[in-house]
Amino acid sequence: MEQNLENLTIDEQLDTAAPVWPALSEDDVAKAWQLFDTGIESAINPRIKKHALRMMTSGAIIECQDQLFFMKRSHSSVITKEQLVAKHKFANLIGDRLRNHYMNKGGAPDVVQYYKAKSGGTVVSIGEWLYELQNHVKGDVKYGDNYCWDPAETSAEIYGLGVALAKMHLATEDVLDKLPKDYQSCLYDWHYGFIPQFSLYLNDEQRQNDCIAQFLQSHPKLKNWLKEQNHDLQVDLVEYLYHPIDAVFKEIPERWIHADLHISNVSYEGNSVKGVFDFGLSCPSSFIADLATALDRNTIRWLSVMEGNHDAYSADDIKSLMAGYQSVRKLTPAEKTVLPQMMSNIHIEPALHFIEYHLNTKKPENAEWSYDIFFKRHSKWYITDSGKKYLAVLRDTL
């Protein structure tokens, strides 16, 4: 049964993002710590300073010998060790690139670096759990406890976020080519694309049918859930994809992206981004998809929109993020064409991903939220008067 677009309270929506995995204990941290190569005497164990608010994982800021680290734990039903290692490889590489690219120029955001496991790679397996260890970013993680879609305090901070995203893109234009193919291939069945494959084929029914069939074949749990809930993905895509992506999208090169650059995933120094972390959704896609995702996460107050306040977006934040980004990297003509179209499509594949995630957590009611609200209702907002005004503001920045 579809949930109503109106009167969906913020508390009801936040319930879908509430942590479901057990918090890290001191014992959990100590066991995993011993299996990472930190350069610190192994007899010394860290202590937990603060547990982190993370939806899909358990995390904590830990301290050892006056140094801060961040440890994160994922369940193996959510992501594989190989996929995490690939994401770490990208983060470590982009960190090196940013330092080299902006050496003696100043202003480069620091990217967290992942520690090696003593057994090799950057992930430690203990039973059904996967552990990661990274340095703690410098700067003020002032929004670390915020949920995604929470707003920044000032548009100047959003401008700084746009600058940081553009600098990351300029420094990593050829990163995809530099990573081994085995690092790339393990992600394609997981990252739920941020590549608008469904909308590209809206005007070709047979190609779209083939695309959907292939997609669902790779995700049997999702396929079974859709059938059980009587959801017809083909029908719903036609109904809810309001802005088909122009074929010029094929001119936009594939790139590796962060895919979740929200203010809760960065640290600040003044209004400038000092550090970037949480590469859990990073994947091969396109820079324009990364920019669309940043706009979606930081300029629309989705919790308020779904509560009935359809005007809950910030025109100033749209302008600031785009001005910051374009002060560093200019968009190509193809990117300018595609960006407004992509905004109403950027939720679709992540929403399908979260269905599988929620099914793994045994909370099927949240899976229904992902389909009815995250996919359908978020997409539908863009044909409301408020959504049309939002896109008009965005187009004026291009």
Instruction: Grade residue 53 by pLDDT with cuts at 50, 70 and 90.
Output: confident
Task: State the distance between the two ends of the chain, measured CA to CA, in whole angstroms.
Answer: 40
pLDDT at position 245: 86
Q: What is the pLDDT of residues 336-395, one digit of tens each?
A: 999 999 999 888 888 888 898 888 887 777 899 899 999 999 999 999 999 999 999 999
Residue 81, pLDDT score: 93
Dist CA 330 CA 148 (whole Å): 27
Q: Which residue has the higher pLDDT, 146 or 103?
A: 146
d(CA 295, CA 87): 22
Q: Fill in the DSSP letter of residue 111.
A: E
pLDDT (0 to 100) of residue 346? 87
Per the CB < 8 A criterion, the answer to whether 279 and 91 are in contact is yes
State the average pLDDT over residues 277-289: 89
Angle at 389 between CA 383 and CA 394, to 5 degrees: 105
Top-confidence residue, 34 or 3: 34
Report the alpha-carbon distance of residue 76 to residue 67 in Å, rounded: 29
More confident residue, 210 or 279: 279
Calculate what percentage of the chain has a pLDDT beyond 90.
54
Residue 172 is predicted with a pLDDT of: 85
Mean pLDDT throughout 195-210? 71
The alpha carbon dihedral of 7, 10, 16, 20 has a sign of: negative
Question: How far is CA 129 from each of CA 22, 62, 73, 124, rounded to the nearest angstrom?
Answer: 11, 18, 6, 8
pLDDT tier, 133 (very low <50, low <70, confident <90, very high otherwise): very high
The band of 190, judged by pLDDT with boundaries at 50, 70 and 90, is: very low
Look up tokens 């407004």; give the residue: 340
Q: How confident is the model at residue 273 (pLDDT cuts 50, 70, 90)?
A: very high
Q: What is the reported pTM?
A: 0.92
In angstroms, what CA-CA distances link 345 with 200, 315, 318, 332?
A: 10, 20, 18, 20
125 pLDDT more than 50: yes
Q: Quick one: three-class SS letters along 187-250?
A: CCCCCCCCCCHHHHCCCCHHHHHHHHHHHHHCCHHHHHHHHHCCCCHHHHHHHHCCCCCCHHHH
pLDDT band at 188 (very low <50, low <70, confident <90, very high): very low
Q: Which of 260, 243, 227, 226 is nearest to 371 (CA)?
A: 226
**Helix, strand, coil proportions of the chain in percent (round to 5)?**
45, 15, 40
Say how far apart CA 147 and CA 156 lie, in whole Å. 20
Under CATH, what is the fold of the domain 10-396? Aminoglycoside 3'-phosphotransferase; Chain: A, domain 2 (3.90.1200)
Is the pLDDT at 191 greater than 50? The verdict is no
Contact in structure between 289 and 173 (CB atoms under 8 Å): no
| Average pLDDT across the chain, whole number | 87
CA atoms of 185 and 139, how far apart (whole Å): 34
pLDDT for residue 202: 66
pLDDT for the residue numbered 2: 41
The mean-pLDDT minimum among 29-33, 242-246, 273-277 falls in: 242-246
Residue 43, classified by CB atoms within 10 Å of its CB into exposed (0-12), middle (13-18) or buried (19+), is exposed
Burial class (CB in 10 A: 0-12, 13-18, 19+), 283: buried
**Tell me: the pLDDT tens digits for 311-342?**
999 999 999 999 999 999 999 999 999 999 99
